[in-house]
Amino acid sequence: MVTLSQQAETVASTRYYLKDESGQPEETVKDLFKRVAKAIAQTEKQYGKSDADIQLTEKDFYGMLSNLDFVPNSPTLMNAGTEQGTLSACFVLPLEDSMEDIMKAAHDIAMVQKFGGGTGFALSKLRPRGDKIKTTHGIACGPIQVLQTLSRVSSMITQGGKRDGANMAVMAINHPDILEFIECKKVEGDIHNFNISVGVDSNFMKAVESGSEYPLINPNNNEVTGYLDAREVFSKIVYGAWRNGEPGMIFLDNVNKDNHVISEYGEMIATNPCGEQPLLPNESCNLGSINLANFVNTDQIRPYILWDELRSTIKTSTRFLDNVIDANYYATPDIEKMTKATRKIGLGVMGFADMLTQLRVAYNSEEGRKIGSDVMRFMQTHADETSKELAVERGEFPAWDNSDYGEDERYRNTCRLTVAPTGTISMLADTSSGIEPLFSLAYRKMNILEGQTLYYVNKYFEQDAKEMGFYSEELMEYLSDGGSLKDRSEVPDEIKDIYITAPEISPESHVGMQAAFQEYCDSGISKTINFANDATIEDVHTAYINAWKTGCKGITVYRAGSREKEVLVTAHNNDTIKEEQSDFFDEIDAPISEEYYFAECCDQPQIVMESGCKSCKSCGWSACHIA
């Protein structure tokens, strides 16, 4: 029988269960997983499978879901078996330099976000502000005004009736309007439903190192319009990230090393809203994550990873995600055509921090990074193997003939792995999010719709505390108020090391863990590089350089307290909440629209979306940040 924790049941009932006309759940968790397993297994009919084979596949899918060994992205949980709505979370839409194309992009935003998807755009092809328009003899408004227009369109849409729109805008470093882009979100709340990232290549980064200039190029005519000092521009990017986390950075060279269809479709120049999924224009990708915390044997004197069980789940979940592509409902014909041409899937992980605590390994240790690398290499080996098996059974992805893959690389899916942030699905699985460290060992959340305040303690920490005799309500209250284990004499040093939390981990260790996973991941990694409030601009500068040098595909940083309005809380009193981090509910495919906190804007209940978007029910204030 499937059982959920109190937290997970709250998430399931408010997010995923189908509702009756009065808004009351008409499913249980067993019904939810049976609905999803059945809907995704049915696509096996397209490939000539018998009813008996389909029933066996459905049983495998249900077992994997009900054990919470694997959970797909939220649109699949919400919409599978309902015959409406997309099952994918991640989209990149084209944005070309014409009024028709801009308006089509606005239309497609609405269609995608209507049913729960998040969208990414590259502004790099739009002519700069002030450029002459030959057809109308007018003057171009520039990409920032286009961005503001798309933001307003997104604000009109409530994704699937369950969450606000969320987006990513990327601009190439050599665009003439790059300085305006870097500054466009310096005022908190501006363009609130877009993340922004600067797309750079190795030429720019080498110019930063050498202190040389680089050219600005008008995308309308490819003419050089001027030169900027690379170090000065890089410093502006770093300062913005230090100031409030914007902009991030995407290393386009690293991204396109894993783009195997460049000859047919060109380069990837944008990502989904959380940055972990680079995509071609009109591509979508469905994600799902394996709960690593479930694959540790702790019965022995020395715990170990259950590799055989993990292998089996990798193979089943890879098949599941490939089936989703065929079970999907697509917002536009162009998205369906492109998605089915490349058949990208994004198998990732969650519960990594909980895996390490069970293995008695510190997150910020060399051993911790090695385990991360070993796990991702294992994921890559068996996801690739399964994709090849599916290609034999069903055929390679249609664009394979024009790809740069070799004869021994006949894959069903042009990419297989993506590490997403898993904000809400990790809450459903009652495990740590993505590859992030533990944010806090104890914290509270208020759910006004349910009329209750939920108090959470990490289950592994609670068990250790009780078994080792240092558990107390006073300690849990202290931790929920933002206290650190380091200051508690009754807590053994071993426990302090194992249960280290995100704010206590150095940026170097954060980047190191991201790089360890990135080496074996053919898409990107969602990872927030955390800084203490007193971190310097130079600290952020070093993190950005290290991310590039270690082969990461992008970087997002967050300095504690650098935003007035943030999401995850670690300290509170009866009237206000001190908020410390903005990435806990950042999985774009999983909203938390019923999680309420008291807003600082007017001390009234504030709705917090899992995407990072927030709005006040009283005064209408809103802001958005997605790490």
Average per-residue pLDDT in the chain? 87
Give the separation between CA 288 and CA 89, rounded to whole angstroms.
Answer: 10
Mean pLDDT of the 98-113 span: 92
Is the pLDDT assigned to residue 447 strictly greater than 60? Answer: no
Is the pLDDT assigned to residue 301 strictly greater than 90? Answer: no
Which residues make Cβ contacts (< 8 Å) with residue 321, sequence separation at least 6?
72, 286, 287, 288, 345, 346, 347, 413
Please count the CA atoms within 13 angstroms of the CA of 567 that sit on its side-chain side: 29
Mean pLDDT of the 266-275 span: 95
pLDDT of residue 597: 33
Q: What is the DSSP string of 28-74?
A: -HHHHHHHHHHHHHGGGGGGT--HHHHHHHHHHHHHHHHTTSEEE-H
Residue 388 Cα distances to 5, 54, 315, 413, 603, angstroms: 37, 20, 11, 8, 55
Asked if 328 is an active-site residue, the reply is no
pLDDT of residue 446: 56
pLDDT of residue 618: 36
Is the pLDDT assigned to residue 608 strictly greater than 50? Answer: no
Handedness of CA 370, 372, 375, 376 (dihedral sign): negative
pLDDT of residue 515: 97
Is the pLDDT assigned to residue 545 strictly greater than 90? Answer: yes
pLDDT of residue 80: 96
Mean pLDDT of the 531-554 span: 95
Q: How confident is the model at residue 613 (pLDDT cuts 50, 70, 90)?
A: very low
pLDDT of residue 451: 54
* Counts of helices then strands in the chain (DSSP H, E): 21, 28
pLDDT of residue 491: 96
Mean pLDDT of the 395-408 span: 97
Is the pLDDT assigned to residue 565 strictly greater than 70? Answer: no
Bigger pLDDT: 9 or 443?
9
Is the pLDDT assigned to residue 353 strictly greater than 80? Answer: yes
Which one of 276, 504, 594, 595 is the catalytic residue?
Answer: 276
Q: The pTM is what?
A: 0.89
Q: Could you report the per-residue pLDDT of 38-63, keeping only the tens digit for each? A: 999 999 999 999 999 999 999 999 99
Q: How confident is the model at residue 364 (pLDDT cuts 50, 70, 90)?
A: very high
Which one of 90, 274, 613, 624 is the catalytic residue?
Answer: 274
Least confident range from 167-176, 232-241, 433-442, 607-616: namely 607-616
Is the pLDDT assigned to residue 6 strictly greater than 80? Answer: yes
Residue corresponding to tokens 């098996």: 389
pLDDT of residue 63: 97
pLDDT of residue 582: 30
Strand partners, 610: none
Residue 424 Cα distances to 344, 428, 460, 587, angstroms: 22, 6, 19, 7
Going from N- to C-terminal start, the domains of the chain cover 83-433+499-565
Second-level CATH architecture of 83-433+499-565: Alpha-Beta Barrel (3.20)
Asked if 274 is an active-site residue, the reply is yes
Reference 271, options 517, 524, 102, 72; nearest CA is 524
Contact 580, 561 (CB under 8 A): yes
Mean pLDDT of the 531-559 span: 94
Contact 143, 128 (CB under 8 A): yes
Bigger pLDDT: 620 or 16?
16
pLDDT of residue 570: 52
Counting residues of the chain whose pLDDT is more than 70, the rounded percentage is: 86
